[in-house]
Amino acid sequence: MANSVKTFCRVRSCPNFAEHKGYCETHKGERAFSRKTHPRNKLYNSRAWKDLRLAKLRRNPMCEVCSRAFATQVHHLEPARLRPDLALDMGN
């Protein structure tokens, strides 16, 4: 019998231990998404978002929090998952 370390299922809300590629028996058919391919991140992988992000950083290259360092990220004021209508609005 193999000595293997038990881990929890990759499904966040599942309390079961994983046996099959990181998933329990209940969820072994589930597909793991990487950050890049997860359906929620479709917006952030789109050409429209990448263009808007670059325009925002060019318009205001300084961090809006500290105003001392160059910005490397842009954030929504209203979360895109809650307000998808404002996801590509420069003012948001």
Six-digit token pair at 5? 């370390």
Inter-residue contact 64 to 71 (CB < 8 Å): yes
State residue 50's pLDDT score: 93
Burial of 73 (C-beta count, 10 Å sphere; 0-12/13-18/19+): exposed
> pTM of the predicted model, to two decimals?
0.58
Banded model confidence at residue 27, pLDDT cuts 50, 70, 90: confident
* Residue at 16: amino acid letter: N
19, 31 contact by CB (below 8 A):
no
42-70 pLDDT per residue, tens: 888 899 999 999 999 999 999 888 888 99
Q: Name the band, by pLDDT with cuts 50, 70 and 90, for residue 1.
A: very low
Task: Express as a percent the part of the chain with pLDDT over 90.
Answer: 28
pLDDT of residue 55: 95
